[in-house]
Amino acid sequence: MKNRFSSYWVRSAFYSFFQRFSLTFFGLINFMILTRTISENQLGTWALFLIITGVFEATKSNLLKNAHVKYVSGSPDKNEKIAIASSSFLINTCISLLFILVIIFFSEWLSQWLNAGLDLAQMLVWFIPGMLFMIFFTHFESVQQSHLDFKGVFAGYFIRQIFFFLVLLIYWVLKKPLSLPLLAIYQSLSIALGSIVLYVFSKKYLSHQFIASWPWSKKIIGYGGYIFGSGLVANIANNLDQVMIARYVPGSVAYYNVASRINNLVDMPSYAAADIIFPKASLASVEEGPARVKYLFERMIAILIAITIPVALFIILFPKFITTIIAGAAYTPAAGILQIYMVTGVLRPAQNQAANLLNSIGKPRVTFIMNTISLSILLLLNYICLKEFGFYGAAIGTLITTLISFITWYFLMRRMINLDLSSVLKHIISTYGLFYQQVKGLLSRKQKNQGSEQGI
């Protein structure tokens, strides 16, 4: 068992899955507490705050982490690794300071444009310390993953989540009022604690030297530039429904946020898989060739789709039951949105993995173009559907765009890696067969144990 656990795939899958699980689980629990603690309007403002800060965090990570991981894991020279890490840290700092300046000068305008009064602007200003701490958190996360180590990343994210959860739980149990600026402050503190934990785990990989170089900075931006752009576009697309609802159907953000939160449960395995497969696909494209890359992609999306389908079907059949448990009876209008999103949830894992794979084999420009086209279509369709269908317009526009994107991505991956749909279907069937054998084996062992106990 020890030897099996020490393998890259098992170890990485364990920590990456539970990192994503902790993010989704505590995010959901925190959300359940907040729906019962703050008003619907406050919840909508909180959702917009998380979208803005989340898009910033994820986009910056896309720029730096992938380039950092690719170049450090592929370099045997210690001084070169230090130069790569230092250059990455410098770019990280510059981007964060630029975003802070944007918040200082434009947060009030943005808050009013999204019909959030000045509450959103106040939250963003109070979160500036969190953005500074995020510089270190993102850097240490990149350092960990560039050495194929996921333990510290899991610990850092877990501490962030558990701290924020405990704060909300205390306020809820004591029935104390919780303001939006306080939520932003506690978010900053959680990132600070997570950064400290990540540093402890990353110390063995750090040289504590700073030798940033212009050539490596250019190379990181050159490689990560398209990933940065495609990541920004993809993150905007993932949250565009809530932003457009805030603009055109004020007061409805909270319902869309409820549906999106539940939808994230379906996406969790996909994002965990992306963290694991990226380093392996990068190596496979160099050392083992396109056939291995094709196999990794087909096998991974088959597993993800096999996991996603039963979960999505259950939620589609019982949407009001799910929304009532998660958010309470006041948020049942989100049930219809959730049903639509579950259809997109079955298709998204393949698109997410396709974009991630193209980045890992050195084709980020293609990903950027695809994501930009998808965002343009989404923006147009959401606007049209919002005008035609009102409350459900953004969800319908998202569904149509997802179907178009899925078909386009399929034909693109056929061209890029010779993707074979029949192979994916075979892998899905074999995955269900493996699950069946595992369950059958567990039941058989349980019956034998019961028989032995009765014999005794």
More confident of the two residues 154 and 393: 393
Question: Do residues 332 and 324 lie in contact, with contact meaning Cβ atoms separated by under 8 Å?
Answer: yes
**pLDDT confidence of 5, banded at 50, 70, 90?**
very low
pLDDT at position 268: 66
Q: What mean pLDDT comes out for the span 290-315?
A: 81
Q: How far apart are CA 186 and CA 454, in angstroms?
A: 55
Give the range among 73-87, 179-193, 330-344 with minimum mean pLDDT.
73-87
**pLDDT confidence of 6, banded at 50, 70, 90?**
very low
Q: What mean pLDDT comes out for the span 404-427?
A: 87
Q: How far apart are CA 308 and CA 268, in angstroms?
A: 10
pLDDT at position 10: 56
Copy the structure tokens of residue 220.
């990181």
More confident of the two residues 286 and 260: 260
Copy the structure tokens of residue 149.
């180590």
Q: What mean pLDDT comes out for the span 358-385?
A: 87
Phi, psi of 127 (to 5 degrees): -90, 0
Sheet strands (E) in 157-223? none
Would you call 212 helix, strand, or coil by DSSP?
Answer: coil
pLDDT at position 28: 82
Q: How far apart are CA 3 and CA 10, in angstroms?
A: 10
Q: How far is CA 26 from the centre of its chain?
A: 14
Residue labelled with tokens 């925190």: 30
Residue 310 has pLDDT above 90, yes or no: no
Q: What percent of the chain has pLDDT over 90?
A: 36
Q: What mean pLDDT comes out for the span 270-279?
A: 54
Q: How far apart are CA 407 and CA 182, in angstroms?
A: 44
pLDDT at position 112: 93
What residues contact 238, with CB distance under 8 A and at least 6 apart? none
pLDDT at position 453: 58
Q: How far apart are CA 13 and CA 60, in angstroms?
A: 24
Residue 91 has pLDDT above 60, yes or no: yes
pLDDT digits (tens, 9 = 90+) for 372-406: 999 999 999 999 999 999 999 999 999 999 999 99
pLDDT at position 359: 72
Residue 23 has pLDDT above 60, yes or no: yes
For the chain, how big is the Rg over CA atoms in Å? 22
Q: How far is CA 225 from the centre of its chain?
A: 19
Q: How far apart are CA 257 and CA 32, in angstroms?
A: 12
**pLDDT confidence of 237, banded at 50, 70, 90?**
confident
Q: How far apart are CA 384 and CA 55, in angstroms?
A: 24
Residue 270 has pLDDT above 60, yes or no: no
More confident of the two residues 265 and 261: 261
pLDDT at position 451: 61
Neighbours of 39 (CB within 10 A): 10
Residue 2 has pLDDT above 70, yes or no: no
**pLDDT confidence of 4, banded at 50, 70, 90?**
very low
Residue labelled with tokens 């924020």: 164
**pLDDT confidence of 186, banded at 50, 70, 90?**
very high
Query: Rounded to two decimals, what is the model's pTM?
Result: 0.78
Q: How far apart are CA 10 and CA 12, in angstroms?
A: 6
More confident of the two residues 21 and 38: 38
Q: What mean pLDDT comes out for the span 16-43?
A: 83
Residue 197 has pLDDT above 90, yes or no: yes
More confident of the two residues 363 and 134: 134
pLDDT at position 126: 96
Residue 86 has pLDDT above 60, yes or no: yes
pLDDT at position 452: 59
